[in-house]
Amino acid sequence: MNDVYAFIKAEKTTHHVALLCRLLKVARSSFYAWLAGEQARAARRAVDDALAHEITVLHIASRCTYGVPRIHAELRRLDRRVNRKRVERIMRERDITGVTRRTSAGR
């Protein structure tokens, strides 16, 4: 849906927004709501990038072994209040993975 709204934003200089919304079968109010939230999304993206930098520094300091639980614990130890799921999402999006211990077979 974001692609549709981005297309409307790009083409609104040449065509009316109402016409574009009608052709693409989206509500005009939804387009304007998406447009109003653009600044908030950009701010959240900037905060996520800063957090990703911190996560990367901690991950490299751990010799690339720490996964989500330990990275989250380190951030908490540094008085950085952040949700574990957010850490997990950021690490997944940027392909930052920890080392998993192998289980011994036959025990």
pLDDT in tens, 7-58: 999 999 999 999 999 999 999 999 999 999 999 999 999 999 999 999 999 9
pLDDT bracket for residue 1 (50, 70, 90): confident
Phi-psi domain of 63 (left: phi exceeds 0; alpha: psi -120 through 50; beta: other): left
- State how far the Cα of 80 lies from the Cα of 36, in Å rounded to an integer: 29
Structure pTM? 0.74
| Phi and psi, residue 71, nearest 5° | -65, -45
User: Within 13 Å and on the Cβ side, how many CA atoms surround 25?
Assistant: 0
Q: How far is CA 81 from CA 46, 61, 66, 77, in A?
A: 17, 20, 18, 9
